Amino acid sequence: MATTKVTTPVTGFESNVDIGLKIPVGINSNVPIGVEGMIRNDTEEVSGGTDSTTAITFYNGTAWKYFNSTKSTPPINSYYLVVGGGGGGNYGGAGGGGYTTNIGGASIGLSLSNTYTVTVGVGAPRTTLGNNNGFNGGQSIFSESGTAIATVDGGGGGASSGQAPSGGSGGGGGYANGAGGSPTGLGTGNIGGGGNTACYGGGGGGAGTAGTNANASGNGGDGGDGLQNNITGTNTYYAGGGGSLRNSCSTYTPQGGLGGGGNGINIAAAGYPTGVDGTNGLGGGGGGRSAGGSGVVIIKYPIANNINIATGTSPIAADLNATVVGSSTEKFTRFLATGTVTFTIS
C-alpha cells in the first residue's frame, strides 16, 4: 500500500506505530533557541487573557509569541423611528415632519465598537409677517460612525399667498389659490392642500394623508393625519399636518391632523391671531401662523443592552433605556432634545 507524506523540506509523518504529531513542551526557563516558524507548547504561558496554564507559542524570528484570538460579538438587532421637525404655518397650515421607520420590517445591526449620532430636528418658529411663507422644520438624522442610517426632512412651511414650500410633508397653499407643497422624499410624507381666495389656506400634509383644500363653500383646509407607530409599546401618531388660517366665510376651525398637527384659526379674530403650535416630540406641523413641533428619534433594542450617552443632551431618565410597554425582552431610548447627541451601545 502506498504511503502518503508531506514532501521536502518538511519531514514526513509516516510511522509504523500510531504515535501522532508531537511538538516540544517546556517552561519559560528552558525556552530553546528558536528558528523562525518553530512552534512549542509553553506550559507557563497564558493565551489570549484566559486562565489556561499552557499555550502554543511560535518563534517569529526574534521572540517567542503566543497565538491570540478575539471573540467576535454579533451585532445587536435594533429598530428605529425618525421624525423631522414640523413646519411653521401662515395662511396655509404647515406640513408634518418627514417620517421613516423599520418597525414592521427587517432589523438593523448595531455594533458595540461603533459610535452613533442622533440629531433631532427643531420645530419651525412662528412667523410674524403675513406676506412671508412659514419656515420649514429641521432635519432629523440617525447615523453610524458618520454614515447616515436614516435621514428625514422637516415639514414644509405654510404659504402666505402662493405655492407652499416642499418638506417632509408639504405645507398648505396660500390665499391666492396657492398650491400645496410637495414632499421631498426624505422620509414618508404627503402634499399639502391648496388655498382658496374665499377661505384662504390649505391644510399641511401629514405622513399618512395629504392636507385638504380650502374651498369656496366655507372651510379652510385641515391638516393631514400622521402615521401610527408602536416602537415604545404604545401606539402613537407622529408627523401630522397643521390646519390652515381661514377667512370669516364660516365658523369652522380648520383641524390639525393626528400626530401633533396644530389647529388653524379664524383671521377675523381681533389682533394678529395665531393657531395652535405643532406638538413637540411628534413632529407636528403648526396651524395657521403657528410654530411647528420638534421631531423625535427612538431606538429599540434587546433588554440586555444599554445606550450610553457620550456627548450632547441626555434623554430624561424615563426615556433612557426604558422597557418597552408590554415587553420583557426589549428596551427603547427616546431622543427629544433638539440638536445632536452621540452614544455607544453596550
Q: pLDDT tens for residues 306-323?
A: 999 999 999 999 999 999
Alpha-carbon torsion 32, 34, 38, 40, what sign?
A: positive
- Cβ 294 vs Cβ 280: under 8 Å: yes
- pLDDT (mean) for 253-257: 95
CA distances from 168 to 98, 184, 236, 324 (A): 4, 6, 19, 27
Q: Which amino acid is at 20?
A: G
Q: For strand 25-26 and strand 39-42, is the pairing parallel, antiparallel, or unpaired? A: parallel
One domain for residues 44 and 110:
no
Supply the range of the domain harboring residue 293. Answer: 74-346
Residue 17 lies in a domain: no
Residue 261, sorted as left (phi over 0), alpha (psi -120 to 50) or beta, turns out to be beta
One domain for residues 164 and 212:
yes
284 vs 50, residue with greater confidence: 284
- Cβ 178 vs Cβ 205: under 8 Å: no
One domain for residues 91 and 147:
yes
One domain for residues 84 and 161:
yes
191-247 residue pLDDT tens:
999 999 988 899 999 999 999 999 877 788 999 999 999 999 999 999 999 999 888
Q: What would you measure as the largest C-alpha separation in the chain, in angstroms? A: 109
pLDDT higher than 90, residue 35: no
Q: Which three cell numbers stand for residue 58?
A: 511560535
pLDDT higher than 60, residue 7: no
- pTM greater than the 0.85 cutoff: no
One domain for residues 234 and 215:
yes
- pLDDT (mean) for 284-298: 97
Nearest to 126 by CA among 322, 262, 17, 5: 262
One domain for residues 296 and 246:
yes
**pLDDT for the residue numbered 39:** 80
Give me the DSSP letters along 197-232: TTTBPPPPP-SSSPPPPP-TTS-PPPPPP-EEE-TT
pLDDT higher than 60, residue 6: no
One domain for residues 60 and 202:
no
- pLDDT (mean) for 105-129: 94
Per the structure, how many domains does the chain have? 2
Distance CA(245)–CA(286), nearest Å, equals: 11
